[in-house]
Amino acid sequence: MISIIAAYDDDRGIGKDGKLPWRSRYDMAMFKEITMGRAVVMGRKTFDSLPKKQPLKGRANIVITRDIATAIRNYEPYRIPIETPQTSIGFASTLADGVQVGRAFGPEVVIIGGAEVYAQALPVAERLYLSHIEGRYGCDTFLPEIDLSGPTWMVARIQTGGGEDGQPKVIFTEYRRQERR
């Protein structure tokens, strides 16, 4: 099964200057809960945005790029021994290859962005984990339009959090694709 996890603001913005423009402990906790122990597939630009270009711990990180040789060469200076069990990193040259590699780690492969990769994964995703981060953050990268009110997506759960200590309010919604007809 392919899932998508994304956080977006009031403008459907997801990133600014190659980074997340907000800090949300609640959203980070949800992200960790959903992705931990699973394979996560991301675009090369999202990987570049991770702190010190280190793979997410406890997850099989799969980075997609059209130029694997360059991506690996650029990553080499950051490579350190991985000590956490279940952490790994690999590169794939198509989304389909990335997902196929991810399936070796378990039944649910989670697409973690960014916009270019979300757009390609949406037609094949079975689950969406979406965090609406309240506010406007002047983003330059956006979540593709998704018709969440039509028959395609069914709400499976809604949770809210954040809103204290200057943290943004977050509405987290899990959607499941209805049976394909």
Ligand X SMILES: NC(=O)c1ccc[n+]([C@@H]2O[C@H](COP(=O)([O-])OP(=O)(O)OC[C@H]3O[C@@H](n4cnc5c(N)ncnc54)[C@H](OP(=O)(O)O)[C@@H]3O)[C@@H](O)[C@H]2O)c1
Q: Rule CB under 6 A: which residues touch ligand X?
A: 6-7, 14-15, 18-20, 42-46, 49, 64-67, 71, 93-95, 112-117, 120, 141
- In the complex with ligand X, the residue whose CB is nearer, 19 or 79, is 19
159 to each of 9, 28, 127, 155, 171, how far by Cα in Å? 16, 14, 16, 11, 6
CB of 176 to ligand X, least distance (A): 19
CB of 5 to ligand X, least distance (A): 7
Contact status, residue 49 vs residue 23, Cβ threshold 8 Å = no
- In the complex with ligand X, the residue whose CB is nearer, 137 or 153, is 137
CB of 54 to ligand X, least distance (A): 15
159 CA to centre of own chain:
18
- In the complex with ligand X, the residue whose CB is nearer, 91 or 153, is 91
CB of 83 to ligand X, least distance (A): 25
- In the complex with ligand X, the residue whose CB is nearer, 136 or 179, is 136
- In the complex with ligand X, the residue whose CB is nearer, 21 or 153, is 21
Question: Residue 45 has which token pair?
Answer: 């630009």
CB of 166 to ligand X, least distance (A): 19
β-strand pairing of 109-111 with 39-43? parallel
129 to each of 3, 15, 177, how far by Cα in Å? 8, 17, 12
E-assigned strand segments in 27-168: 39-43, 60-64, 88-92, 109-111, 127-133, 141-142, 153-162
CB of 68 to ligand X, least distance (A): 8
- In the complex with ligand X, the residue whose CB is nearer, 23 or 178, is 23
Torsion angle (degrees, nearest 10) of CA 133, 21, 34, 126: 70
State which H helix or E strand residue 75 sits in. helix 68-75
